[in-house]
Structure 1
Amino acid sequence: MTTKSSLRILAAFVAMLLFAAGCNVPATEKPATAEELSQMNRDFAAALNAKDAVAAANCYADDATLYPPNESAVTGRADILNYWKGAIEAGATNVSVKTIATGSEGNLGWETGQFQMDIKTPDGKVVVDKGRYTELLKRNTDGKWVSTMGMWNADAPPAP
């Protein structure tokens, strides 16, 4: 066998391997729209405004974690439910969100945005809290985007 024919056989073999490898690459999914990714936070704000802590908690995955400002992490839907129940009982209301940016890759996504909410202080005054948030999202088995990790911070320092 000549060197030339050995190179042709080797080239044909490499071409078949590359073709076979390409057949095993999963089809890339179309990225989620900003509308789809930001729906979680719109549903969440509506739930808090309706004083429905269960609906608010259902915006999160079972094993999600919250990182509230100046507080310990809150992990798991049951603890997230209690956290938002406490926020509702403490007077969180008039919650609104505004998406700034989103992105996704397959079943994982993210959203950043701004929030605003009214909070009643123990003396009955209403304080407007404004800030920014980041959500890491995943598409659940029903095709709905839920938060796996949420973090936010206020524009102003906490009230004394």
Structure 2
Amino acid sequence: MPESDINTVVKEAQHRWNTAFNGGDAAAVAALYTLDGIVLPPTHAAVKGIAAITEFWAGLISAGFRDHGIELHDAQSVGDLAYSNGKWWATGSGDDGKEVRFEGTLVTVLRRERDGSWKTCLHIWN
């Protein structure tokens, strides 16, 4: 797939993710992952599968995290796999209860499903 096309695919996937998360819909966020998807949070054990991914994001949403955004830096594809990296940010409460802007970098791996859609199969950030 040409680089410009995979950039569009990844940007659209990121937009759907941000919309679902910022809308407070953990199930809609989890639906953007493959059935065997894995989320690797920096301070949590690996989260595997749709049910666990839903529960994980529901916890962050209920903790007050919001205003999530992603800036794509690069995306590449090989066959039915694509990988991307970029910057993320979100607002939430710090240890002292005050509002804090969190930010870091992320890497995602997406896989093209049988229906032609692209879903995240691996998601890691710091």
Flag whether TM exceeds 0.5 (same fold).
yes
Letter in 2 for 1:100: H
Q: After the TM superposition, which residues 54-93 of structure 1 pair with which residues of structure 2 at under 5 Å, given as runs?
A: 54-93=27-66
Name the larger-Rg structure: 1
2:86 corresponds to: 113
Helix, strand or coil: the match of 1:146?
strand
Out of 103, 111, 114, the position equivalent to 2:76 is: 103
CA contact (8 A) 2:20 2:29 kept: yes
TM-score, structure 1 normalization? 0.73
Q: Distance in 1 between matches of 2:35 and 2:95?
A: 32
Q: Kindly, what percent of the aligned residue pairs are identical? A: 30
Structure 1 residue 70, shift from structure 2 partner:
1.7
Out of 9, 28, 35, the position equivalent to 2:8 is: 35
TM-score, structure 2 normalization? 0.92
Q: Distance in 2 between matches of 1:57 and 1:139?
A: 16
Q: Deviations over 1:31-79 (max 9, x none)?
A: 4420112322221111111001111101100101111012110001110
Structure 1 residue 122, shift from structure 2 partner:
6.6
Letter in 2 for 1:96: G
Say how many residue pairs are matched: 124
Helix, strand or coil: the match of 1:33?
helix
Letter in 2 for 1:139: R
Q: After the TM superposition, which residues 114-133 of structure 1 pair with which residues of structure 2 at under 5 Å, given as runs?
A: 114-121=87-94, 124-133=97-106
Helix, strand or coil: the match of 1:141?
coil
Structure 1 residue 99, shift from structure 2 partner:
0.3
Over aligned residues, Cα RMSD in angstroms?
Answer: 1.4
Structure 1 residue 123, shift from structure 2 partner:
5.4
Q: Distance in 2 between matches of 1:105 and 1:123?
A: 44
CA contact (8 A) 1:112 1:133 kept: yes
Structure 1 residue 142, shift from structure 2 partner:
2.2
Higher helix fraction (1 or 2): 1
Q: Distance in 2 between matches of 1:54 and 1:70?
A: 22
Higher relative contact order (CA 8 A, sep 6+): 2
Note the residue ranges of structure 1 that are not aligned, 5 or more in a row: 1-29, 154-160
2:112 corresponds to: 139
